[in-house]
Amino acid sequence: MKNHLALGHILALAVSAVWGTTYISTKVLLTAFHPVEILIFRFILAWAVLFLCSPKPLLPKSLKSELPFLCCGLTGLTFYSILENYALQFSLASTVGLIIASAPMFTALLLWLCRRSGRPGGAFFIGFVLAMAGIALISLAEGESFDCDPIGIFLSVAAAVCWGGYSVCLEWAHADSGLTDLQITRKIFFWGLLFTLPFIWINGLSLDLTRFADLTLLGNTVYLGIGASALCFLPWNKASALIGSIATNVYLYLMPVITVVASVLILSEPVTALTLAAIILILSGLILSQRKSNHDA
């Protein structure tokens, strides 16, 4: 049992480390691709890799049995990604990032409301406040600011709620499907891709493949589609099954820390006292939240 818990925490930590670096690849791709195009190519690559790893047909037995995967794809892939991308058009990245980092709180509250976990305790919310304060400090230390655009804030909150909804649906899928983690993840990406495809028509996109002649664009697309999607959602979903969605989602607090570390190692950016204080706050918040999450799990 302890080995399973340790594996769950290691998987969640590893995925957070990768997701904390994806902003670099996304920024590169946004110079040549529409945000929706990036999502489409990511989801196609991810589903293709997962299908090759498990090519067994996974035809739905009924609408009721397929509903958890449909909801996961809709909330965690399509709605979350689209809402985040559109929020960035109205608000600063620092504002969007701070609000979306509240996803663990929405996860805990939604799981409690759906009676899939106990009521979050005081330690969880104290940890949440510390982590949010640390994330805000990191943005301020990097010279960023926050804004109060109501549309951007609404879209960001909606994205965070959608990720919490994904976590609820994921526990539902694990409980009732009898499928492996790989098969569950493959089904989720199928539905996520299916629900995202209409946005090609809505935005009048053509999905021009000639841009992939640029190896930089190709490499970053492969990294996001295979590395950050197929090879990250699978262990993330596994971690959720092992230690619970609340304990897994708390590791999202680490993403800004990973981003700072990557900036120092890759871009040789300096570390300020404010940044160090922010990292301490985030780690303290994670430890407090995990202590309670472990007890509930």
CB atoms within 10 A of CB 22: 20
Domain count, the chain: 1
DSSP per-residue codes, 146-192: ----HHHHHHHHHHHHHHHHHHHHHHHHHHH----HHHHHHHHHHHH
Look at residue 77 in the predicted model and tell me its pLDDT: 94
- Per-block mean pLDDT, blocks of 10 residues, the chain (297 long): 82 88 80 90 95 87 88 95 84 75 86 77 85 82 70 89 92 81 93 95 89 94 93 92 88 80 70 82 84 50
Token pair 């799990």 is found at 297
Report how far residue 280's alpha carbon sits from residue 41's, in angstroms, rounded to the nearest whole number. 37
Report how far residue 34's alpha carbon sits from residue 40's, in angstroms, rounded to the nearest whole number. 10
Look at residue 40 in the predicted model and tell me its pLDDT: 95
CB atoms within 10 A of CB 161: 20
- For residue 258, give the 3-state DSSP assignment: helix
Report how far residue 166's alpha carbon sits from residue 83's, in angstroms, rounded to the nearest whole number. 14
Q: What are 44-48's contacts with CB under 8 Å, separation 24+?
A: 44/193, 44/225, 45/221, 45/222, 45/224, 45/225, 45/226, 45/229, 45/230, 46/189, 46/225, 46/226, 46/229, 46/230, 46/233, 47/186, 47/189, 47/190, 47/193, 47/230
Look at residue 297 in the predicted model and tell me its pLDDT: 45
DSSP per-residue codes, 210-228: GGGGSHHHHHHHHIIIIII
Look at residue 46 in the predicted model and tell me its pLDDT: 95
> 273 — alpha (psi -120 to 50), left (phi > 0) or beta?
alpha
Look at residue 182 in the predicted model and tell me its pLDDT: 92
Domain that holds residue 268: 2-296
